[in-house]
Amino acid sequence: DATQTLSYGPDQQPSRRTIANRLNGAKGGRPPKNRVTERTDPAQRNLPPMAIKGGKSVTESKTHAPIAKAKADNDSYLKAKLVEPSASEIDAVFNRIGPKAFDAAGFDPARDLQNWSAARQWAADGLRKGMTADEIERVVVAEVSRIAERQRNKGKPAPHMGYFGKAICAAIAAGVIPEEPKTFAQQVAERDWEEAMREWVRAGGAGPQPVLADYAAKAAA
C-alpha cells in the first residue's frame, strides 16, 4: 500500500508560540507565580534539616583551620614558656650589664645617679631571645657606646640610662650581636701577621705564606 501523508496549508500550521508552549509543557511547564516553597511557607522553615551531599566533608574542612590555629598557638605558648627566664637568671645578667652600661654611657659616678634599672628589661629581653649573658653584654655595651658618642658629638649628652632603651630593645629583637672584643694578645698577633703579609707580598710571594694561627700562638705564649 502506498503511504499517504496529510499536509496542512500555511494558515493551518501551529504558530511558533504554540510550539514553544508545547515544549515547555513537555518539560513540566512554567512554575506558577504563587507556588509554595520553603522560603514562602513559614510552616516549612521549622522542618528538620535535610541531608546535604558532601556535608560532612564541608563541615570538617571548615573546622580544621581553627583547630590547626589553636594547636599552633598552643605550641607557641609552650615554646615561649620553655625559654622564659627565671627571676634569678634575669638578676644575674642585670647585675652584670648594669654597671658596664653605666660606664659605657660615660656617666660620672660622683655626679650622676647610679641607676641602671632599665638594664633589667634588657636582660630579660635578651634571655627570652635565647642570648647568653656575654652576647647580651656585647649588644648593650655596643649600643650604649655608639649612642653616647653620637650625643656627645652633638653637645647633648644622654640624660639617663633609659635614653638608650629603644635602640637596645631593637638591637636585641633583631638579634644582631657584635663580635667578641679581641684580647691584647689577639690584637698583637693580627698586627704582626698583617705586617708579615705585606712583606710577603712585596717579596713577590717568595717563601711560605704567613699564617695567622702561628702568630696567635706566639702572642699567647
Residues 62-93: tens digit of each pLDDT: 555 555 555 555 555 444 444 689 999 999 99
User: Residue for cell digits 511547564?
Assistant: 29
Q: Are residues 168 and 189 in the same domain?
A: no
Kindly state whether residues 93 and 165 are assigned to the same domain. Answer: yes
Q: Which domain holds residue 154?
A: 87-174
CA dist 75 and 69 (Å) reads 10
Nearest to 106 by CA among 179, 171, 35, 156: 156
Provide the CA 98 distance to its chain's centre, in angstroms: 29
95 and 170 housed in the same domain:
yes
List, for residues 94-126, the tens digit of each pLDDT value: 999 999 999 999 988 777 667 889 999 999 999
pTM of the model: 0.51
Q: With 0-12 CB in 10 A as exposed, 13-18 as middle and 19+ as buried, what is 143?
A: buried
The answer to the question of residue 11 being in a domain is no
Residue 43 to residue 108: CA distance in whole angstroms: 87
Q: Is 17 within the bounds of a domain?
A: no
Same domain flag for 167 and 202 = no
Judge whether 49 lies within some domain.
no
Residue 80 lies in a domain: no
Same domain, 108 and 146: yes
CA–CA distance, 138 with 153 (Å, rounded to integer)? 23
Q: Are residues 127 and 164 in the same domain?
A: yes
Instruction: Over range 40-62, report the average pLDDT.
Output: 55
CB 144 within 8 A of CB 98: no
Q: Is residue 66 a part of any domain in this protein?
A: no
What is the count of structural domains for the chain?
2
Residue 158 located in a structural domain? yes
